[in-house]
Amino acid sequence: MESCQFAESASTIPELLYRRMTESPETPCLFSRSDSGAWHGMTWREFWLAAAAGAKTLRGHGLRSGDSVAILARTRREWMIAEHAALLAGLMVVGVDTHAPEDHIGHVLRHCGAKALIADTGKNLDKVPSDIRKALQLTVTMDVCEPSADAMAWLAFTGATLDAGVGEPVFPDAKSSATLIYTSGTTGTPKAIEFTHAHLMAACRSIVRLFPEVDHRDRTVCWLPMSHLFQRMLNLAAVAKGGPIYFLDDPRQMMVQLREIKPAVLIGVPRFFEKVHEGVQQKTRAFRWVPRVLMRPLLAGLVKRMFGGRIKFLITGSAPCPAAVHEFFGDAGLPLFEAYGISENAVPMAANRFGACRRGSVGTLLDENEIRFEVDNEILVRGPGVFGGYWRDGESRDCFTEDGFYKTGDYGMLDGDGYLHLRGRKSDLIKTSTGRRISPAKLESMFQASPCLEHAVVVGNGRKHLAALLTLNRAWLARKLKCAPSSVTLEAWMKAEGAQKEVFQEMDRINMQLPEYERIQSFTILPRSFSMEDGELTPTLKVKRRALEEKYRPLVDELYKAL
């Protein structure tokens, strides 16, 4: 059965998995890598039985439809099994990022009222406040190497089997809640986005339709945080098409394992593709004298081998991708498609694709959504994937128009051919004291495209000009200082006149491409990179602008005093 028709035939996620299991029970589907380096898969039948056993365990510990199950684990095969076990039991899945600060973890677990918690290690379980742990009806650990004395082992959780002759399982209603997704909290306390099975199945169908080039033979790489919905939706699309999913639980081994997996498609944030670009530039530095037309075949072969040799296209989103990165992958004959979506809509909003791609845009609109623009060009959306409101938040109605369109907070415009171009976020817009309204996203993308910079955060709200908080690219600096990345320090950079000079030249070079009111007039180099652990980055690696501005307010004030 075609994957699109297959997805259309199911109204809930457990029903989709059950249909897949009955159609191809002995086909390997979920692969993980053992300590020896070998990839081991489980069949669709084994996947279904493990999920059904987990559902039976959850119900046996008193959880009932509508209760919340929190999963505090890094990306791994057991995450997906736990997710489907909870969904089959009629429960809500709440993903909790393992890199989140402990106060964030506590807030999420209290707010969702978690009745069960499934964690990957005892170490991560220790991040959960003791009062919350005591109130849980069930606690499970996945990892046999780091078990917890007061938690059920993973093998016991999935050890129960369906009784013989039990027949077809009872599926939840399509309108019942399937998951709570907590916003990344870039501007305040995270809110919970509630999605039903109907929302998620609408998203699954839209993704399958969007990329018909992907079929049951193509391998999906699961490596993005599963606490975020996007990776889980890609996994669900793989269930619909019947393709195998490979779980990468250590992103540091990404490029090594991609050559083993040989995926057809790879999804990543712009910074990931920027790093690939930088790495290849270093490898091909000796060939820079070769004319571009002759360089392309060499580049294409090198890049495709890096991704395993079977790659068809790449997809990026979440933030603007620098033009130089697009040009690089274009020269390698490997399309890098930018797409656009929002947390509050499970269905993607727009995407570039084969036959409909325009560099600098986020693609054409998806038919599943109704989209219109306010007078100020804010994007509004209504459709089958749009959530109904933030969970346990009485102010959600303010996010919608009277006729039910969600206010995205993103500015955009359609060009004459129907391609959507984003123009920044309403909440991020900087208004200088001279009256100029400036979107920092475009500027930050330009500066971060520089090989010497890791992050650039533009500030200047209410000020007469713009300034920036910068972090250096440690790999670049290590090469400049001829030392290991682990020994790189800001003090070493300050002593290296050549490295200092290059950063200042880069700032001047980019500033000269900008109108005067968008130029960075002053900046400071921070001593280390931003991290999720310190509450500076979201799980999708976006900077938490408000948190950073507050944290570094004294430094910013000094920047303006100096001029």
**Whole-number pLDDT of residue 239:** 97
- What the block records as the tokens of 163 is 């009784």
Per-residue pLDDT of the chain (563 residues; tens, 9 = 90+): 565 666 678 999 999 999 999 999 999 999 999 888 899 999 999 999 999 999 999 999 999 999 999 999 999 999 999 999 999 999 999 999 998 888 889 999 999 999 999 999 999 999 999 999 999 999 999 987 766 778 999 999 998 654 443 356 889 999 999 999 998 654 567 889 999 999 999 999 999 999 999 999 999 999 999 998 999 999 999 999 999 999 997 888 888 899 999 999 999 988 788 888 878 877 776 556 556 656 777 788 888 899 999 999 999 988 778 888 888 898 888 999 999 999 999 999 999 999 999 998 999 999 999 999 999 999 999 999 999 989 988 667 789 999 999 999 999 999 999 999 998 888 777 888 777 878 888 788 888 888 888 889 999 888 888 999 998 888 788 787 777 666 667 677 666 777 778 888 989 999 999 888 899 999 988 888 888 778 888 766 778 888 888 899 998 888 888 66
Q: What's the pTM?
A: 0.84
C-alpha to C-alpha distances, 528 to 85, 251, 475, 538, 560, nearest whole angstrom: 41, 20, 13, 17, 22
Q: How far is Cα 347 from Cα 264, in angstroms, rounded to an integer?
A: 22
The gap from C-alpha 31 to its chain's centroid, in whole angstroms, comes to: 21
CATH 3.40.1160.10 assigned to 3-27+36-211: no
Q: What is the CA radius of gyration of the chain?
A: 24
Instruction: Report the SS3 class of residue 558.
Output: helix
Write 373-378 long-range contacts (CB < 8 A, 24+).
373/412, 373/413, 373/414, 374/407, 376/411, 377/411, 377/412, 377/413, 377/423, 378/407, 378/408, 378/409, 378/410, 378/411, 378/426
Q: How many residues does the chain have?
A: 563
Q: How far is Cα 400 from Cα 345, in angstroms, rounded to an integer?
A: 13
CATH 1.10.420.10 assigned to 430-561: no
Q: How far is Cα 444 from Cα 468, in angstroms, rounded to an integer?
A: 9
DSSP structure class, residue 340 = E
For the chain, the domains span 3-27+36-211, 430-561
Instruction: Report the SS3 class of residue 327.
Output: helix
C-alpha to C-alpha distances, 237 to 192, 212, 389, 548, nearest whole angstrom: 24, 11, 25, 36
Give the residue among 453, 495, 449 at the shortest CA–CA distance from 476: 453
Q: How far is Cα 63 from Cα 55, in angstroms, rounded to an integer?
A: 10
**Whole-number pLDDT of residue 4:** 61
* β-bridge partners, 533: none
CA angle 506, 511, 515 (to 5 degrees): 165
3-27+36-211 and 430-561 agree in CATH topology = no
DSSP track, 441-504: HHHHHHHHTSTTEEEEEEE-TTSSSEEEEEEE-HHHHHHHHTS-GGG--HHHHHH-HHHHHHHH
The gap from C-alpha 383 to its chain's centroid, in whole angstroms, comes to: 22
Per the CB < 8 A criterion, the answer to whether 356 and 364 are in contact is: yes
* β-bridge partners, 42: 30
**Contacts of residue 132, Cβ cutoff 8 Å, sequence gap at least 6:** 106, 109, 110, 114
Give the residue among 92, 98, 318 at the shortest CA–CA distance from 200: 92
Q: Is 528 exposed, middle or buried (0-12, 13-18, 19+ CB in 10 A)?
A: middle
**Whole-number pLDDT of residue 292:** 62
Counts for the chain of helices (H) and strands (E), in that order:
20, 25
Phi and psi at 74, nearest 5°, equal -70, 170
